[in-house]
Amino acid sequence: MPPAKRPPPLWPQYLCTLTLAVTLLTGVLRLGLIDWADRDHCHSLVTKGRWLDSGFKNWQPEGCMLNTYIPATLSPCLKNRRVVFLGDSTVRQLFFTFAHLADPLLPSTHPSDGGKHTDYSLVSSAMSLSVEFVWDPYLNSSRTKEVLTTPSRGKPPALLVLGSGLWYLRNPTSGGLPAWEKMLDNTFSLLHSAQGVADELFFLPVETPVYSKLNPERRRTIRPSDVAAMNSDLRQRVRAPSSWTWSSRSGAPELKEEHGDLPAGEVVLPQVFNDMLDPAQTEDGLHFAQQVLVTQIQVLLNRRCNRLLKQKFPWDRTCCRPYPLPGFVQGLMIFCVAGWGLLARLWISKRERPLLRSFFPSGDAQHQLSIFGLSVLLCYLADRTPLWDKEQKQFDTVWFFGLLLLGLGAGVGTLKWGEKDAGFLNRDQTDEWKGWMQIIILVYHYYGGSQISGIYNPVRVLVAAYLFMTGYGHFHFYYRKADYSFTRIAQVLVRLNMLTVALAYVMNTDYLFYYFAPLVSFWFLVIYFTMLVGAKYNDRLLFLLPKMAASAALVALSMYNAWVNEALFALLRKVFRLPWNAREWTFRVSLDLWIVWLGALTALCTLKFTQHRLAEHTFFPIAKRFAAVLSLATLAWFFWFELTRETKLVYNAYHPYVSFLPITAFVLLRNLTPSLRSSHSRLFAFIGKISLETFILQYHLLLAGDTKGLLIVLPHSWRWANLVLVSLGFGWLSWRVAGATGVLTAWVLGKDKEKGLPTQRLGPGVGEVGNPRVAQGERANGVVREEEIPLSAVSEGKLEVEGQVENGVTSPNLHAHPHPHPHEHTHTHGHPPPPSPVSGQTVHPLIKAFKDDLRFRIGGILLVLWGFNLIWPVE
């Protein structure tokens, strides 16, 4: 009798639980005690920030994600409006930069033939936007006074930008610091007494020059101490916004319906302008490069315009943009998802009302539903509230490849060598495959690797590999088991989509936004219906192969003819209120249009290879060596090919036709010898078992801003520590949600979770349902082999009825019914047996049908979701 396995240590669970609890507590305390007044980051947007890159292209305000405005996105904020700049040459630079940003047809700098010290007025005809510059380096002219005191005809300027200071230092005859202070007294007096001067009023800090690059004359008059004193004076005069109190909104002044006048004297001092300056970005020490000026303008626009953005996902622009409170319908859905399990545990389970209790889980399912619901609620708190900060991604070569090497080392350190040949593409191997691919994908998303073609292209192959396993697993199952029952369909689709559907409603996003679950669900249905048609002839290759070719052709035609998906999605939008994007869906399916069929053909070849005992032929050793050499050459060619494509868009055109090459090469090399097939990394296999959950939960718990940014639970300067803490909590939650989803799938289907037994072959013909001839020759050298189907894992919390389901790849369950007929199940039509009637209680026929009939139950759930769609507010 083999020795009993030791239970896994509990300290990793305790560590992850403690980490999650501490980060949640610190987030609540930080928000409530420190950041409540600036929870929308309007103040930190203009006062704190840093460059994330050495090229000065990625500016990071503290705690929020900056929006990059272009002419099209500026129009809702500035169309038919006026923007005014007053000041010296540094303000003039901002004026031309803003004008060119708003309309590329407008100049980006002053004319080369002179005219520096003059006023300018530019008009963008595309936006009906008027941009004015008033040359007044001392801010004491009559024109400046007129702008600050005279009410504008119609709407006031959307933006009013003032700047001065260096001219007072540069020209001592101006009166120097005393004159500058007097100017400030007069200017701020006018601003305090004026009403409706502008929607947003900025007084720029005095620019800190790069003294080493100033000419001798400027260096003699512009002293660092004077500049520091002037900026200190400005900070004292520009008070924090008056609404930064314990109110319902944070520091940003509210906009009225039309333009929203500022409170009297509301002036914003963008202190970060000086933080953006770097010696490498200037030649004369005073005037800086265009890319720095563009970033300064973006900060001003984020402060002014972000509050006017549509209140819809993706929430990737979070600076000075308050999160909306959930509406009634979304709030009801959040309560149902997050509170159903808690309600069952805390109240329903204590009530003697069997009819009511029939709609709630019992036993362990209550606990698992609570875990599932609270995890989804945490996604909402993380990505739809200011509980934790969100920041932008920045690719870092050292960290990117360093983390991959660290993951590789951890995987190699947990290698396990088996004593027997585990078989081609066995469960442990496919779990390992998914695991290391998932690590690469997570690191790739965390560091924004999609911007680099040489990294994006191989990652596209990893996604294709997941779909390859989907085709392999589903075809393998239906060819061998021929189980086409509704229970089987429900089992796979519920397991795949439970988390995705819950997040789509709770987060107010879109089902197709979490594209992986829709993709594998779509291909499961394609394989299902392909195998269903003429199923009794599936053992005849002359029928099966043309049928598969016809199915592939139909799918391809629907993707290549855009009107098919456009018409289908228009119907779904009209009838079911599903706002799905047909173009995005066509792109996702077309990108991996053929790889699923490669997986199916690989499964067929594997079965025939085993059936005809080809491994015993004399030519096989030579064929193996040839396959090894060819596979290595193929991998080398592919990496050369993908690295030499100009852009990732160019590669995308080739991807559907070349992705099979590295995947096939890897599969052949990974299964080349018995020792390779029997070995696997336990760490990678563990991650592979929860890869569906990690792929989906990363959208809101590892990343943020609907994948566009990063979730920050610690101060910005500790990104490495933040990565460690977030990863611990994210990994633990993914594991718990994976277990919970398996149990809840069993509950939805009306099945109790069975005890898992080792999945193994019992010899030729035993357990081979629907195609007994396949079993011939599957006992290699008298050794009983583990089931050679991916993802047949038997793990805690996984559904173990009629088939194992995990991450879109399925395998049969040989545990409970070792000798079933292909059309023979535990109950008629694959439904669970009805529960015992409750004594003394009359059950409504509809309620009884919901409890006892799986079709009715699934239909009822879909009907409820349809009802939510119909009452969901239209954005």
**DSSP alpha helix (H) spans, 64-175:** 71-78, 89-102, 142-149, 166-170
Give the C-alpha separation, 362 to 344, whole Å: 8
How many whole angstroms separate alpha carbon 392 and alpha carbon 50? 11
**Active-site annotation holder among 89, 358, 590, 795:** 89
Question: Are 601 and 458 in the same domain?
Answer: yes
pLDDT greater than 60 at residue 284: yes
Same domain, 364 and 298: no
Residue 394 pLDDT exceeds 70: yes
In terms of domains, do 810 and 692 share one? yes
**DSSP H stretches of helix in 270-363:** 272-275, 290-305, 328-346, 354-357
Whether residue 257 has pLDDT greater than 60: no
Q: How far is CA 103 from the centre of its chain?
A: 32
Structural domain count, the chain: 2
| pLDDT of amino acid 177 | 92
Task: State whether 462 and 409 are in the same domain.
Answer: yes
The domain of 474 spans: 353-754+802-830
List, for residues 539-575, the tens digit of each pLDDT value.
999 999 999 999 999 999 999 999 999 999 999 999 9
Structure letter (DSSP) for residue 268: B
Question: Is residue 624 a part of any domain in this protein?
Answer: yes
Q: What is the dihedral of CA 242, 247, 250, 253, to 10 degrees?
A: -50
Q: Which position has the higher pLDDT, 801 or 63?
A: 63
151: confidence class by pLDDT, cuts 50, 70, 90: low
- Cβ neighbours of residue 716 under 8 Å, at least 6 residues apart? 50, 60, 62, 63, 389, 391
| Of 65-74, 78-87, 258-267, minimum mean pLDDT range | 258-267
Give the mean model confidence (pLDDT) for residues 661-668: 97
Confidence of residue 359 (pLDDT cuts 50, 70, 90): confident
Residue spans of beta strands (DSSP E) within 669-757: 679-681, 703-704, 709-712
H or E stretch at 448: none
Structural domain contains residue 194: yes
The reported pLDDT for the residue numbered 10 is 83
Q: Is residue 13 part of a domain?
A: no
Examine residue 201 and state whether it is found in any structural domain, yes or no: yes
Element (H, E) at 403: helix 397-413
Both 555 and 629 in one domain: the answer is yes
Exposure on the CB side of residue 273, measured as CA atoms within 13 A: 26
User: In the structure, what pLDDT confidence band is assigned to residue 801 with cuts at 50, 70 and 90?
Assistant: very low
Q: Which residue of the set 75, 130, 275, 287 is catalytic?
A: 287
Q: Poorest-confidence range of 202-216, 282-296, 826-840?
A: 826-840
| Of 38, 125, 678, residue with least CA distance to 386 | 38
Residues 365 and 302 grouped into a single domain:
no
Instruction: Dump the DSSP string for 30-72.
Output: HHHHTSGGGTT-HHHHHH-EEESSTTS--EEETTS------HH
For the segment 738-759, what is each residue's pLDDT rounded down to a tens digit? 999 999 999 999 865 433 333 3
> What residues contact 161, with CB distance under 8 A and at least 6 apart?
83, 84, 85, 86, 87, 91, 94, 95, 202, 204, 300
pLDDT at 674 over 80: yes
Domain boundary among 243, 277, 308: 308
Residues 513 and 422 in one domain: yes
Domain annotation covers residue 226: yes
State the pLDDT at residue 349.
Answer: 65
- Phi/psi-derived region of residue 56, left when phi > 0, alpha when psi is between -120 and 50, beta in every other case: left
659 is catalytic: no
The Cα 86–Cα 190 span in angstroms is 15
Q: How far apart are CA 221 and CA 798, in angstroms?
A: 75
**CATH number of the domain that residue 79 is part of:** 3.40.50
- Asked if residue 250 belongs to a domain, the reply is yes
- pLDDT in the model for residue 83: 96
Cα separation of 726 and 252, whole Å?
A: 30
Of 697, 716, 715, 717, the residue nearest 707 (C-alpha): 697
Of the pLDDT bands very low, low, confident and very high (cuts 50, 70, 90), residue 358 is low
Query: Residues 53, 119, 185, 284: which is the catalytic one?
Result: 284
* Amino acid code (one letter) for 654: Y
89 part of the active site: yes
Residue 287 is among the residues annotated as catalytic for this protein: yes
CA separation for the pair 286, 128 (Å, rounded): 33
Query: What does the alpha-carbon distance between residue 434 and residue 692 come to, in Å, rounded to a whole number?
Result: 10
Contact 460, 591 (CB under 8 A): yes
My answer on whether 729 and 821 are in the same domain is: yes
Summarize the confidence of residues 225-236 as an average pLDDT: 93
- Three-class SS of 10-28: CHHHHHHHHHHHHHHHHHH
The per-residue pLDDT for 62 is 94
Tens of pLDDT along 690-718?
999 999 999 999 999 999 999 999 876 78
DSSP H/E element including 135: strand 129-135
CB atoms within 10 A of CB 84: 23
Residue where a domain terminates, one of 251, 275, 308: 308
User: Is the pLDDT confidence value at 98 over 70?
Assistant: yes
Residues 373 and 522 in one domain: yes
Structure tokens at 581: 């994007």
> Which one of 279, 308, 337 terminates a domain?
308
SS3 (DSSP) at 786: strand
pLDDT at 830: 41
Residues 283 and 363 in one domain: no
Share of residues in the chain with pLDDT > 70 (%)? 83
Measured distance CA(125)–CA(722) in Å, rounded: 47
Answer yes or no: is 574 within a domain. Answer: yes
Give the model confidence (pLDDT) of 369-389 as tens digits. 999 999 999 999 999 999 999
- CA dist list (Å): 174 to 139, 165, 178, 412: 12, 11, 9, 72
What pLDDT does residue 785 have? Answer: 37
On whether the CB atoms of residues 148 and 188 are closer than 8 A, the answer is: no
Confidence (pLDDT) at 110 = 82
Structural domain contains residue 21 = no
Closest CA to 248 of 158, 324, 152: 324
Residue type, 145: K
Tokens of 258: 């039309």
Together in a domain, 77 and 158: yes
pLDDT at residue number 469: 97
Provide the percentage of residues in the chain whose pLDDT is more than 90. Answer: 68
Q: What is the pLDDT of residue 292?
A: 96
780: pLDDT strictly greater than 50: no
Average of per-residue pLDDT across 513-528 = 97
Average pLDDT over residues 262-272: 74
Note whether 362 and 288 are same-domain residues: no
